[in-house]
Amino acid sequence: MSNDTQGTSTRRKFLGMAGLMGAGAVLSSCTSVIATMPSQDNGLDAAIFNFALNLEYLEAAFYLAAVGRLGELDAAGGSSARVTLPSGFDGKSAIPGLSAEVRAYADEIASDELAHVKVIRSVLGSAAVAQPQLDLGPAFAAAGNAASGGAITGFNPYANELFFLHGAFIFEDVGVTAYKGAARFLDDQKAGGNLENAAGILAVEAYHSGAIRTLLYQRRAQQAAAGLTVEQVVQAISNLRDAVDGSDDRDQGVTMNGMGNIIPTDGNAIAYSRTPRQVANIVFLDTTGAATKGGFFPNGLTDDGNLGKLLAL
């Protein structure tokens, strides 16, 4: 649903962050992209891919752990040992009580995100950055606390199916906007090149987002935690993301003006964009706009030497 009254919502009253993203890769299955850049190369393509790779490590770890497949990250070039999980959950067994439907969604998305890690590493070759330390435990607790104004403590996305869907919502919308925002900086626009492949991954991330938003909308009236409904928790997460990504209002919950809002868009039914800096604000759970680490990346992103330039865009 489009929002023709941007800036009029009350979302700005929330100052905090619950972030991420996974923010989608900037590439699909083409393994010769970097080698075929055109002469007008602005030097950002590889940096964008490595920024995306950091985020794909995060998304892959989140979903793989949810279905008990975290160890698969190691064979793809990541590191399950560098993933902090909530106490009592090791990512070797699926979230208890997952329905067959949600388990199927989670397994498919986990495989997609793992494939993104593999293909970006393949394309970048020796230039691919290593997986940073990922926080899927305390960072979620901090996000839940911020989103609820302190009403929700110790939020754990692996505690049950509903909490898992809330955790996924934190990531998926950010991935779509991050991916779209990166497209403007890609040089290679020929058939089968960077931009075309980026559009392909954007579509996959949007499918993921739509699936998660639909599942949450179906449960919108259900009590979630601390006296809040699913609809209210989702809106609070949206509000918090919106508080750090710029002066406008580019984030939406699963309802708007009393109606369903499965597809978040602007007034022209176009998906929003976020810059790398705006994405970083979200994944770092940062309200200052200047953090270089924190949140889901406690030690920061793995830098290929161009991260500072990318965040300045």
Q: Are 11 and 251 in contact (CB under 8 A)?
A: yes
Residue 11: pLDDT band with limits 50, 70, 90: very low
Is 51's pLDDT higher than 90? yes
Give tens-digit pLDDT for 243-271: 888 777 889 999 999 999 999 999 999 99
> What's this model's pTM, rounded to 2 decimal places?
0.86
Residue 33: pLDDT band with limits 50, 70, 90: very low
Measure the CA–CA gap between 2 and 12, rounded to whole angstroms.
19
Beta-bridged to residue 2, according to DSSP, are: 265
Per-chain mean pLDDT for the chain: 86
Cβ atoms within 10 A of the Cβ of 267, count?
10
Measure the CA–CA gap between 200 and 256, rounded to whole angstroms.
28
Residue 12: pLDDT band with limits 50, 70, 90: very low
Q: Are 245 and 251 in contact (CB under 8 A)?
A: yes
Q: Helices (H) and strands (E) in the chain — how many of each?
A: 9, 6
The token duo for 267 is 């007034």
Question: 8 versus 260: which is more confidently predicted?
Answer: 260
SS3 135: strand
pLDDT for 190 equals 66
Question: What are residue 297's phi and psi, to 5 degrees?
Answer: -125, 75
pLDDT for 192 equals 66
Beta-bridged to residue 260, according to DSSP, are: 255
Give tens-digit pLDDT for 193-248: 677 777 888 899 999 999 999 999 999 999 998 899 999 999 999 998 988 887 77
**Measured at the alpha carbon of residue 52, what is the angle toward residues 47 and 55, in degrees to the nearest 5?**
135
Give tens-digit pLDDT for 56-115: 999 999 999 999 999 999 999 999 999 999 999 999 999 999 999 999 999 999 999 999
Measure the CA–CA gap between 140 and 153, rounded to whole angstroms.
10
Question: 97 versus 18: which is more confidently predicted?
Answer: 97
